[in-house]
């Protein structure tokens, strides 16, 4: 069976391409390729309407593409999609059935245009991994089960060579933050939840639907539009909540300060040097001393390392379970578990890795207290 994807270098060689996906990534790819003198014949998108265009390029539904069958077989098609919702190999098979045979994933294209397309979440230039081999290997040794280690190796292969492994696809039986197969996850009694990056309260609602007993919860959401949605949802759920609920319109970071923030991006709003607004960021150690959480969840668009550092005393005091997103930055996959393992005052956590989205998105580090994996490698981390 032939390889499903072609190397991204075929785009320069061909000099002309078709793009599948006319969202933000598709627009960025279109702009970069046109700047490089590569002709974009058309774009394909399942939501295309009559007369739609992007940067002057016509957009069609794939089944309505005007390119004839012989040219479909020869012209590279770049799958200009990079999100948690699309199974890229499955999409590639669908395009093959329509006669498009030279398919290039966005990850493979990015390898040939890393500066022009820029870092995106975990995706960066491929040589970056080679300079972090020691940390990558050390973090893998922290993982407590073979499922986690297999997923970790598959993520590294995706980053190093664009290899899509179905083991890192989301599993139908799992709900985000509630994996079915992580030992002792959230089964130790009433929960005291810290929800960092609460968005509109979806995690809280999922916990209620799962019949988890919530003794108290504190939610942090700095985007004011999202925060308004959070307030509305908590008011609607109030009859199902037995304990106090605290809502903070703040970011979470390594210290309490004013930070630049990109707002209005729904779930993707986050702290950024390019932010057009300012928000208050708080260190959890500053505002919740003695609060005794049993679960800390963080999905804060790349600020997770800083926020954990700002909660170090709280974590050491309470030893809560942790659910930390580790896909927003290229090095978070290994740096976050290594940092937690180096905190010897925690007495050792057991670390598990689970994926809840396609293409490396919604990857979560689950950490449960009482294991030996952290202390076992702390000397390696410091070396």
pLDDT value at position 372?
A: 41
Neighbours of 242 (CB within 10 A): 10
Antiparallel, parallel or unpaired: β 16-20 and 39-44: parallel
pLDDT at 265 over 90: no
pLDDT of residue 371: 53
Buried b (16+ CB within 10 A) or exposed e, 292-323: ebbbbbbbbbebbbbbbbbbbebbeebbbbbb
- pLDDT at residue 370 in the model: 81
Give the CA angle between residues 231, 235, 236 to the nearest 5°: 120
In order of their start, the domains of the chain are: 10-118 (3.40.50.20), 133-249+283-382 (3.40.50.150)
Residue 110 dihedral angles phi and psi, to the nearest 5°: -60, -35
pLDDT of 379 higher than 80: no
252 near 223, Cβ under 8 Å?
no
- Whether the full predicted model's pTM is greater than 0.85, yes or no, is yes
* Residue 375 pLDDT greater than 70, yes or no: no
Rounded distance between C-alpha atoms, residue 274 and residue 260, angstroms: 7
What does the pLDDT read at residue 2?
58
Q: Could you read off the pLDDT of 282-315 as tens digits, one per residue?
A: 999 999 989 999 999 999 999 999 999 999 999 9
Residue 269 DSSP code: -
170 DSSP 8-state letter? P
How does pLDDT run across 51-81, given as a tens digit for each residue? Answer: 999 999 999 999 999 999 889 999 999 999 9
Q: What's the angle, vertex CA 186, arms to CA 181 and CA 192, rounded to 5?
A: 155
In DSSP terms, which residues pair with 60 in a beta bridge? 44
Report, as an integer, the average pLDDT of 332-357.
95
């Amino acid at each position: 069976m032939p390889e499903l994807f072609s190397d991204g270098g075929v785009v320069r060689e061909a000099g002309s391409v078709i793009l599948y996906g006319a969202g933000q990534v598709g627009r960025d790819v279109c702009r970069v390729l046109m700047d490089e003198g590569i002709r974009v014949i058309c774009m394909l998108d399942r939501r295309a309407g009559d007369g739609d265009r992007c940067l002057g390029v016509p957009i069609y539904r794939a089944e309505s593409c005007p390119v004839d069958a012989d040219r479909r077989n020869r012209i590279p098609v770049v799958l200009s999609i990079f999100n948690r919702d699309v199974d890229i190999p499955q999409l590639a098979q669908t395009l093959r059935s329509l006669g498009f045979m030279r398919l290039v994933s966005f990850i493979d294209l990015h390898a040939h245009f890393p500066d022009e397309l820029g870092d995106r979440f975990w995706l960066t230039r491929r040589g970056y991994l080679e300079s972090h081999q020691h940390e990558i290997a050390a973090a893998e040794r922290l993982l407590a089960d073979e499922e986690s280690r297999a997923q970790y190796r598959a993520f590294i292969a995706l980053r190093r060579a664009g290899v899509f492994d179905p083991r890192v696809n989301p599993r139908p039986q799992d709900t985000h933050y509630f994996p079915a197969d992580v030992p002792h996850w959230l089964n130790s009694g009433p929960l005291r939840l810290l929800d960092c990056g609460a968005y509109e309260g979806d995690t809280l609602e999922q916990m209620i639907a799962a019949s988890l007993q919530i003794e108290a919860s504190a939610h942090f959401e700095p985007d004011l539009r999202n925060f308004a949605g959070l307030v509305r949802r908590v008011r609607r759920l109030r009859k199902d909540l037995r304990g106090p609920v605290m809502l903070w319109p703040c970011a979470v970071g390594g210290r309490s300060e004013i930070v630049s923030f990109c707002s209005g991006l729904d779930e993707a709003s986050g702290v950024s040097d390019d932010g057009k607004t300012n928000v208050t960021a708080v260190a959890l150690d500053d505002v919740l001393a003695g609060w005794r959480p049993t679960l800390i969840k963080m999905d804060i668009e790349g600020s997770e390392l800083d926020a954990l550092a700002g909660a170090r005393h709280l974590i050491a005091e309470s030893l809560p379970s942790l659910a930390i997103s580790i896909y927003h930055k290229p090095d978070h996959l290994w740096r976050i578990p290594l940092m937690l393992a180096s905190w010897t005052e925690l007495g050792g956590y057991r670390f598990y890795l689970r994926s809840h989205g396609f293409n490396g998105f919604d990857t979560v580090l689950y950490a449960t207290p009482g294991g030996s994996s952290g202390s076992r490698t702390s000397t390696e981390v410091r070396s």
